[in-house]
A = this chain, B = another copy of it.
């Protein structure tokens, strides 16, 4: 019999503590949708009591319509000088449209005394009172026992008394946290086993940090000892060295420990979901990441490659397809071919594997990737490129040229941006000008001004996201930049890409593709 594990994703809350990590409320909604599609049991959306962005996220959570996951709001137990009913943080939690809340409380006597500055018994009252209050309002309450393992090492009885208080208050789960991330798997396993034995009717959860590079191992050890809820983040994002990495934990639990985490077809979404979150957070995905990294199933040595061609299991611990990743043999282009065929199939284009077109598309793709193009999150550009290579492109318009001026007369004054563009539709040339909030905005307005006359449906479309990534910082401001644009016309959202040493030129390419795709998809119907 397999063991069912609750997957609790805290990328949007604890993961957001990672240095360099940054998501807008809009990005958070997109990530939540992707996590739902992947099949997380719980998605922790943030801490509404701590900042306006997380409040905005919960205010808009109604847009989400999650199919598989339940949204969780996070907060702390009530302030030491308040009662539950008067506490701002608990009130904020009750305002969110969620049924499940996670409540963090101190479970180490050292932190209660030094940091919180209340008697040990008062902390127990605070915890029981906070949990009971939210449970009384109909919420399912998960209690996060902060510093549980460090606390238990100092004063085991007190840390267990904290769990007892939460259980008395009606907590639906007791989540044991290795907040400082320095404990060993054997320590974790021992205490988890003890807690599971003592509260058999409550779900026991585990929440680890990676300060000793053991967060994955500690989470697995906790499951082996009886924990049934695993908290972590996509790609292990999190404060300091990160949280437990769900992208490694999920496949290991499922394929190596006989647990039931995700349906097989959802497991195959793991790699793309991992990259999607990195992309939105604007952090480069690690190519060496287990299971989901670009190098995770790469074979380099000639001996390895010939062995892998005979029998992949000789040098692979798992089949990459199981997690939606790909084998890469670094002397051959076999993997790229599969991508092209797979994408083509996805879009209903039938290409035979032996068609010379495949090799040609592959050469174009490799060449573009070498220049810095990346089609993850820019699949509209990829589709346009394939159509062009297949000779199915329709030349709706040509972008001829632009002039962008940005002028700041004196300190304290705002800069004035202006753009002129020249485009050609059929035999007709349009030459327009526009101002804007910054040079890219001006450019966007000028292009639309030029084209809307010919293609009235362009008024339906708007830019929903604009991202810039510097590709290699080594040359300072002369580096290449990649611009990713996301557009929407209400019915559909699509992404396009541009690359250049010049941010205006890269934006010009991505804007052009964005409009082309709108025309292409409207024509396709």
Residue A409 interfacial (CB < 8 Å): yes
Stretch at the interface among A80-88, A235-243, A260-268, A356-364: A235-243
Which chain B positions have C-beta within 8 A of A503? 438-440, 468, 503
When the two chains form their complex, are residues B411 and A402 in contact, meaning their CB atoms are under 8 A apart? no
CA distance in complex: A417, B252 (Å): 52
A104 to chain B minimum Cβ distance, whole angstroms, is 11
Given known contacts A115-B310, A376-B20, A468-B469, A212 and B317 CB-to-CB distance under 8 angstroms = yes
Give the residue of B180, B184, B415, B436 whose beta carbon is less than 8 angstroms from that of A256. B184
* Residue A413 lies at the interface, judged by CB distance under 8 Å to chain B: yes
Among A92-136, those with CB < 8 Å from B are: 110-111, 114-115
Report the minimal beta-carbon distance from A329 to chain B, rounded to whole angstroms: 12
- The answer to whether A439 and B504 have CB atoms under 8 Å apart is yes
Closest-CB distance, A13 to chain B (whole angstroms): 12
Give Cα distance in the complex from A61 to B158, angstroms: 58
Contacts of A477 in B (CB 8 A): 436-438, 440-441, 443-444, 463, 466, 485, 507
User: Is A405 interfacial (CB 8 A cutoff)?
Assistant: yes
Decide yes or no: A438 and B400 within 8 Å by CB, A290-B212, A334-B50 being known contacts.
Answer: no
Interchain CB contact under 8 A, B406 and A403: yes
Nearest B residue to A184, CB-CB: B256
Q: Mark A329-341, 1 if CB is under 8 A from B, else 0.
A: 0100110000000
- Counting CB contacts under 8 A, is A217 at the interface? yes
In the assembled complex, A342 has its CB within 8 A of some CB on chain B? no
Does A398 sit at the interface, judged by CB under 8 A? yes
A51 touches B334 (CB 8 A): yes
Please, how many angstroms separate the alpha-carbon atoms of A519 and B258 in the complex? 62
Q: How far is the CA of A51 from the CA of B191 in the complex (A)?
A: 51
Chain B residue at smallest Cβ distance from A220 = B184
**A19 near B376 (CB under 8 angstroms)?**
yes
The reply to whether A464 and B474 contact each other, CB–CB distance below 8 Å, is yes
B469 touches A22 (CB 8 A): yes
Q: Which B residues are CB-close (under 8 A) to A438? A: 477-478, 481, 500-505
**Chain B residues within 8 Å of A179, by CB:** 315
Are A241 and B18 in contact, with the CB atoms below 8 A? Answer: no
A473 interface hit (Cβ, 8 Å):
yes
